Structure 1
């Protein structure tokens, strides 16, 4: 008996705008538009939930957005900042998933079928991921949990912002039956209009059409529409990456100025990372300490040794690397520690153990 697949789709809430509001307190609670200027030919790249109340949305011309909400704040995108946060979030995903398939900077599919955390509960894993993201980035994410990518993607949009929506295997077909065609991922406005001309307004209507008829009308996409009308989506979560480091970081509930306290926090992280290194039977030669100050400025300090790193080496180098930062002079909101320079390449590609039975709940 094969394991029931468990897929999570994580989608950051108003990602670009939320990063700007996080980094600029004066933007918080106000309609914010990331993109071009009101008098330019640019478009809205993202907007805050406060701006959405005025009917503003992504890809809208900024000139129109300004007419809808003249008091909105317009800012240029900072893609370097967004990429940095995106990498933080992906690192969190890899703590829990055997496969991670990013779709963009702010969303990804995760396969947690073989994850043993929380007794294999995909719902609790999704909650943990959301909590880690909030604690470590001060940003909110929404998550959808189901047994395939199609349903997980739709579920993540059901309860935004800061949502968590679960579609169980026994609920899939009924859920799709009641779903409006315009809500189907993969069906755009043009296809929606064409389907409505054929009398297809819901998943139930779509299920009444044969595969041959759908293929005749929609070409190769017809088979996909036929399957998703029945809540069937066998597409795997695909990912392959070479892990270059193992690390752990923590965001404090309050900023810390004390160097001894920061050293102790880093030592605790070091124990966790060393344990993870040992479990994977790896050896590393480079240690990196990461410090993010209360003003969100971030620095890293690293040291490469001539031999494999042991616990005693970290006890020696954590204080030295911390001394190369402004810790003690500037308050710190986050610290992290990572080990790299592995003795062998680590390709993160997990092969499913299809002979294992699985009956844990979602």
Structure 2
């Protein structure tokens, strides 16, 4: 497909708040401004939900165990998450988006895609729209946002990282394919560490290497993701911005550097994954009735085990207890375990009264 020959070149903006949770805390507490801050628990089993830019300079990042973060940054300040505040600020931001387009696809509380090809302000230049939106977010919330502008979702997402924090960048149809060719595949949005490692084993280091592979080759090695990789290697991504996207499940998984053979390290490896999916539930005021454990062995065979409760899981601790009961029978395994994952499904809106009683413990 020739990008330039497309009948209508879409104008997509990806807006991404800068260190959102941490920035809200620094906004609301002047004593925290300019200091290394982690949103999350400082307990032995705690996990960092978000890190300020001051903390990131020390190598602290989200999903990192709190003990590791404290070791990297001895002066790190831990703050308990306030998800009801983050949700309220996120709603303010989405109301600003709605002034420009009804085509808004939230990815989380702090980021969203906007299709402004045809927009409510009749503004012809997407970069001008992005500038206005970022200025309004700053005026209304006091927070900084970054933005990426391009002709598809993949490149808009990549562009929003180019001038962070508090900046924006454009990737045009003319320079999109060249941008992708020069990019390391490990930096591609949607290519996780395990997939990047597999690509490296196949001799694929950059977008140019990926582009050199046939659709058949990519489908053979990456299954249903093959056509997607084939497209983005050429700067092509046909996915539409989908407003009011309803998630049916939320999951997280991790491939371990060394195969796991015993229960205790397996459960320890699951805890950051449980914390991640629970953060999503807390941030979006949803709960799940079903939890699924995924286990992939060294030979790439895999199993799943699920448990559905009579009521929704109300805390990260309850999810961990369910995962523990599913995980124990797996050990000792017939072969090493290379990947573990957790998925929550049967999602529903949280009961506010129950939510107030059981806050997230990180």
Superposed CA deviations along residues 281-309 of structure 1, whole A, max 9, x for unmatched, are xxxxxxxxxxxxxxxxxxxxxxxxxxxxx
CA distance in 1, matches of 2:40, 2:157: 26
Task: Give SS of 1:170's match.
Answer: coil
Question: How many angstroms does 1:116 deviate by?
Answer: 5.9
181, 184, 188: which one aligns with 2:185: 181
Aligned residue in 1 for 2:200: 196
- CA shift for structure 1 position 152: 0.2
Corresponding residue to 1:30 among 13, 32, 35: 35
Deviation at 1:3, TM superposition (A): 2.7
Following TM superposition, the consecutive aligned residue runs of length 4 or more in structure 1 with deviations greater than 2 angstroms are 116-119
Instruction: Check if 1:9 corresponds to 2:17.
Output: no
Conserved 8 A contact 2:123-2:129: no
* Residue 94 of structure 1: how far off its partner (Å): 0.7
Rounded to whole Å, the distance in 2 between the matches of 1:58 and 1:172 is 29
| 1:166-193 Cα shifts (integer Å, max 9, x gaps) | 0011111011000110111110000001
The aligned residue for residue 90 of structure 1 is 94
TM-score (norm 2): 0.65
Matches of 2:11 and 2:188, distance apart in 1 = 20
Contact kept in structure 2, 1:16 and 1:46, CA below 8 Å: yes
Once the two structures are superposed, what CA deviation does each residue of 1:64-102 show, in whole Å capped at 9, x if it has no partner?
Answer: 111111211101100000000000000001111230000
C-alpha distance in structure 1 between counterparts of 2:7 and 2:221, whole Å: 35
How far the C-alpha of 1:119 sits from its partner, in A, is 3.5
Match of 2:115 in 1: 111
Alignment of 1:216-295 (within 5 A): 216-240=220-244
Give the CA deviation at 1:208.
Answer: 0.3
Counterpart CA distance in 1 for 2:144 and 2:134 is 7
User: Match of 1:349?
Assistant: none
Q: Return the TM-score normalized by structure 1.
A: 0.65
Of 167, 171, 176, the residue aligned with 2:175 is 171
Q: Is the 8 A contact 1:92 1:129 kept in 2?
A: yes
Q: 2:156 aligns with which of 152, 162, 178?
A: 152
Supply the distance in 2 between the matched residues of 1:34 and 1:75 (Cα, whole angstroms).
Answer: 5
Separation in 1, partners of 2:244, 2:64: 35
CA distance in 2, matches of 1:127, 1:97: 15
Q: Give CA deviations for 1:230-255 in whole Å, capped at 9, x if unaligned.
A: 010010001149xxxxxxxxxxxxxx
The equivalent position to 1:19 in structure 2, one of 24, 31, 36, is 24
User: Structure 1, unaligned stretches of length 5 or more?
Assistant: 242-362
Work out whether residues 103 and 115 of structure 2, in 8 Å CA contact, stay in contact via their aligned partners in 1. yes
Q: Count residues in correspondence.
A: 240
Q: Are 1:211 and 2:215 an aligned pair?
A: yes
Question: Within 1, Cα distance between the matches of 2:242 and 2:168?
Answer: 23
Post-superposition shift, 1:7? 0.2
Q: Within 5 Å, give how 1:25-104 maps onto structure 2.
A: 25-37=30-42, 39-104=43-108
Q: Deviations over 1:141-179 (max 9, x none)?
A: 000000000000000011110010000111110110001
- Alpha-carbon separation, structure 2, partners of 1:142 and 1:55: 21
Distance of 2:77 and 2:123 partners within structure 1? 46
Gaps of 5+ in 2: 1-5, 246-362
Equivalent residue for 1:312? none
Structure with the greater alpha carbon radius of gyration:
1
Query: Post-superposition shift, 1:120?
Result: 1.3
| Cα pair distance change 1:124/1:118, threshold 3 Å | farther
2:101 and 2:120 in contact (8 A); partners too:
no
3-state SS, counterpart of residue 74 of structure 1: strand
The SS at the match of 2:147 is strand
